[in-house]
């Protein structure tokens, strides 16, 4: 069970990082 929680947290952080990077790149492209 703990393994699933760890995978969930890591996946959430990874998705947030990807979304932040995508938004930053989009903003730079617009500028």
Q: What angle do CA 25, 9, 19 make, to 5 degrees?
A: 15
pLDDT confidence tier of residue 2, bands split at 50, 70 and 90: confident
- 31 pLDDT above the threshold of 70: no
pLDDT greater at residue 23 or residue 29: 23
The pTM of this model reads 0.59
CA 17 to CA 15: how far, in whole Å? Answer: 5
Cα 8 from chain centroid (whole Å): 12
Q: How confident is the model over 9-28, as pLDDT tens digits?
A: 999 999 999 999 999 887 77
- 29 pLDDT above the threshold of 80: no
Contacts of 24 (CB under 8 A, 6+ apart): none
CA 27 to CA 3: how far, in whole Å? Answer: 36
pLDDT greater at residue 29 or residue 18: 18
């Amino acid at each position: 069970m703990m393994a699933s929680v760890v995978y969930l947290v890591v996946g959430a952080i990874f998705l947030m990082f990807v979304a932040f990077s995508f938004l930053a790149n989009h903003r730079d492209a617009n500028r």
